[in-house]
């Protein structure tokens, strides 16, 4: 597609509910990244894929967070048993280049998750 597409755009979840956030990267982009952006803060790294391989998941805050990209294209970030501190905007970004030469990321519009 023309850009990185994320869905849903907004999600309200009751505390304890499981949620799944979807990211459609730009076609052909090798690298895919998930970031969490709290209100008034910079994006914080969660996890990174190169094709279908999850190369780094060091930023996932707990074992309630899980991400996958089974066919090297669409990715899903799943949060189990959501808690209020999970409320944030979840940004997905993709990049044409794989390591070691970095390139600019193209971000999606994000999913704003509110846990009530």
Partner 1 sequence: GENVEQHPSTLSVQEGDSAVIKCTYSDSASNYFPWYKQELGKRPQLIIDIRSNVGEKKDQRIAVTLNKTAKHFSLHITETQPEDSAVYFCAVSGGNTPLVFGKGTRLSVIA
Residues 91, 34 contacting (CB under 8 angstroms): yes
CA nearest to 92, candidates 13, 1, 16, 21: 21
Give CB contacts under 8 A, 24+ apart, made by 44-53: 46/77, 46/90, 47/77, 49/75, 50/98, 50/99, 51/98
For residues 59-98, which are near partner 1 according to CB under 8 A? 91
Q: For partner 1, which is the closer residue by CB, 62 or 99? A: 99
Two tokens, residue 82: 């959501």
- Binder to partner 1 among 5, 45, 76, 87 (CB under 8 A)? 45
Instruction: Using DSSP, state whether 15 is helix, strand or coil.
Output: coil
Instruction: Measure the CA–CA gap between 59 and 52, rounded to whole angstroms.
Output: 18
To partner 1, the closest distance from the beta carbon of 1 in angstroms equals 14
Q: For partner 1, which is the closer residue by CB, 25 or 108? A: 108
| Under rule CB under 8 A, residue 100 binds partner 1 | yes
Q: For partner 1, which is the closer residue by CB, 14 or 28? A: 28
Q: For partner 1, which is the closer residue by CB, 48 or 65? A: 48
- Binder to partner 1 among 25, 33, 94, 113 (CB under 8 A)? 33
Residues that bind partner 1 (CB under 8 A): 33, 35, 40-45, 48, 56, 91, 99-102, 104-110
């Amino acid at each position: 597609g023309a850009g990185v597409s994320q869905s849903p755009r907004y999600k309200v979840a009751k505390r304890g509910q499981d949620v799944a956030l979807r990211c459609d990267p730009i076609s052909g982009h090798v690298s895919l990244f998930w970031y969490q952006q709290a209100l008034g803060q910079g994006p914080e790294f969660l996890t990174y894929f190169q094709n279908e391989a999850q190369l780094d998941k060091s930023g996932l805050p707990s074992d309630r967070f899980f991400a996958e990209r089974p066919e090297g294209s669409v990715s899903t970030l799943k949060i189990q048993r959501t808690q209020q501190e999970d409320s944030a905007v979840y940004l997905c970004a993709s990049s044409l280049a794989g390591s070691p030469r970095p390139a600019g990321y193209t971000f999606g519009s994000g999913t704003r998750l509110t846990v009530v």
